[in-house]
A = this chain, B = another copy of it.
Amino acid sequence: MTDFAAIDRFITDHLEASLAELARLCAQPSVSAQGWGIQECAELVAEMLRRRGFTVEIIPTRGNPIVYAEAEGASDKTLLFYNHYDVQPPEPLELWDSPPFEPAFRDGKLFARGVSDDKGHIQCRLAALDAVKAVTGSYPCRIKFVIEGEEETSSANLEEFVVSNTGRLRADACVWEFGGINHAGQPALYLGLRGICYVELNVQTATHDAHSGLGGSIFPNAAWRLVWALNTLKDQNEHIRIPGFYDAVKPPSGRDLELLAALPDDSADLLKRYGLKGFLKGLTGGLELRRAEVFEPTCTICGLTAGYQGPGSKTVLPARASAKVDFRLVPDQEPEDILTKLRRHLDAEGFSDVEIAYLGGDKPARTDPDHPFVRLTLEAAREAYGKEPVVAPMTGGSGPNHVFINALKVPVVTAGIGYPGSQAHAPNEHIVIEHFITGVKHTARIIAKFGRGEQATPWTSTSAS
């Protein structure tokens, strides 16, 4: 049996050094959207891995390089970690209490852009590996890292990299880039991500704006074309009107609903946090709300822009109008299929003048909640947190988990140092040091248990949705 008490001691004894290493990583900007500090950060991450005996390669892509690392271990099992070294832009700077790239410790927290998403998780994996190796003498299994540099700009080159390197990346299980506790402080395991199809709808009706007094009665208006086109996409009852949109939707299973029913009720928290008068479709909470939240596909207007948007009035007739729209997809919808149906729908409704720019997509993908690696992760959480973990069979967000689940046939679990208040993507992003400690202990247990083949049943691959 692994001496987890010794591992936990190592973790706390080396906490200061680990946080110092994390702070150095966070001090290196790596803003993918702005092309800022990418190569430098990739090299810093590579160096952190090399220091620990990993064979590391910085692999160029058509976008930002991927840091790929491997190390041998005591067993022939392989555990794969997916993380990313890029971060969100720090703006608006004036809302930060300390500069985003000058990591600051205060109130038991560490503040910096990217400290939660996702540099703290990189450090969490490394601190866990350090502790397991220090106590047991070696890594308990083969460890692989895929640390990309474009997660914050939709992982445009990840799928091609994974698909063309399936031999090299072969693994038995994968730990995802995020994880941690929910709003009730319980360790939470997220087993699926919705897909996404993100488009920009553009209309141009003239070469330039006109005076609304001149053209109001006789010129086509790009903003009106856009409003009418959008109106055909979804009705006021939230029904998406694109023919065939719901065709591939697979309802949640009885097991999914059982897991959803066991999740804590966060409806009051949501209403308060966002100042909502209520939820859509008369939902008030409970299973029906949770089911709608993650097992229904969506059509969300993320942005609208046209004409004059400053203070006061300007009598302009816009020549251009644009909307950002995301569709969240559930199993077994696919972004390319939705894109095709959207084009066909707009044409059929008389909106062939509305251009669609496809800004990226992900397929929905899930890991079987009864997979042995999921059970191992839950057991590790029980021990590390001293609390019963909760299992979300699906979450509302999206990401490239389908790339790993589909191409590598691995189960994907979450574990980490995050919490709902971390302000990821926002000013004053931070981690709570106590969460960091528990997250590292959890990760160390996953590594150790997995390496020694503790799970009762043999590994079987699981597939998307």
B396 touches A213 (CB 8 A): yes
Which of chain B's residues have a CB closer than 8 A to the CB of A206? 274-276
Chain A residues bordering chain B, tally (CB within 8 A): 82
Which of chain B's residues have a CB closer than 8 A to the CB of A297? 217
- Whether a CB of chain B sits under 8 angstroms from the CB of A317 is yes
- Whether a CB of chain B sits under 8 angstroms from the CB of A306 is yes
| Nearest CB of B to A238, in Å | 8
A274 touches B324 (CB 8 A): no
Chain A positions 224 through 245: 1 when the CB is less than 8 Å from some CB of chain B, otherwise 0: 1011101100101010000000
B302 touches A324 (CB 8 A): no
Q: Which of B217, B296, B312 contacts A296 (CB 8 A)?
A: B217
CA–CA, A230 to B226, complex, Å?
11
Which of chain B's residues have a CB closer than 8 A to the CB of A218? 270, 279-281, 283, 289, 292-293
Q: Which of B214, B230, B278, B298 contacts A396 (CB 8 A)?
A: B214
B314 touches A303 (CB 8 A): yes
B324 touches A303 (CB 8 A): no
A-B contact pairs, 19 of them (CB 8 A): A154-B312, A198-B313, A207-B275, A210-B274, A215-B396, A217-B280, A218-B270, A219-B279, A220-B277, A221-B301, A227-B301, A231-B231, A302-B317, A303-B306, A303-B307, A308-B324, A309-B322, A313-B324, A313-B360
CA–CA, A218 to B216, complex, Å?
37
- Whether a CB of chain B sits under 8 angstroms from the CB of A395 is yes
Which of chain B's residues have a CB closer than 8 A to the CB of A230? 227
Contact status of A212 and B275, CB under 8 A, knowing A230-B227, A312-B359, A314-B324: no
**How many monomers of this chain does the complex have?**
2
Residues of chain A from 252 to 292 with CB closer than 8 A to chain B in the complex: 270, 274-281, 283, 289, 292
- Whether a CB of chain B sits under 8 angstroms from the CB of A398 is yes
Chain A positions 302 through 340: 1 when the CB is less than 8 Å from some CB of chain B, otherwise 0: 111111110011111111011110101000000000000
Which of chain B's residues have a CB closer than 8 A to the CB of A231? 227-228, 231
CA–CA, A226 to B302, complex, Å?
13
- Whether a CB of chain B sits under 8 angstroms from the CB of A196 is yes
Which of chain B's residues have a CB closer than 8 A to the CB of A275? 206-208
CA–CA, A315 to B194, complex, Å?
13
| Nearest CB of B to A461, in Å | 26
| Nearest CB of B to A418, in Å | 13
Chain A positions 152 through 177: 1 when the CB is less than 8 Å from some CB of chain B, otherwise 0: 01100000000000000000000000
- Whether a CB of chain B sits under 8 angstroms from the CB of A61 is no
3 interchain residue pairs of minimum CB distance: A207-B275, A213-B397, A216-B298
CA–CA, A68 to B354, complex, Å?
52
B307 touches A307 (CB 8 A): no
CA–CA, A300 to B68, complex, Å?
55
A326 touches B216 (CB 8 A): yes
Which of chain B's residues have a CB closer than 8 A to the CB of A274? 206-208, 210, 215, 219, 319
Which B residue's beta carbon lies closest to that of A228?
B236
Specify which of A293, A300, A306, A309 lies most central, judged by the most chain B CB atoms within 10 Å of its CB: A300
B326 touches A223 (CB 8 A): no
CA–CA, A390 to B165, complex, Å?
76
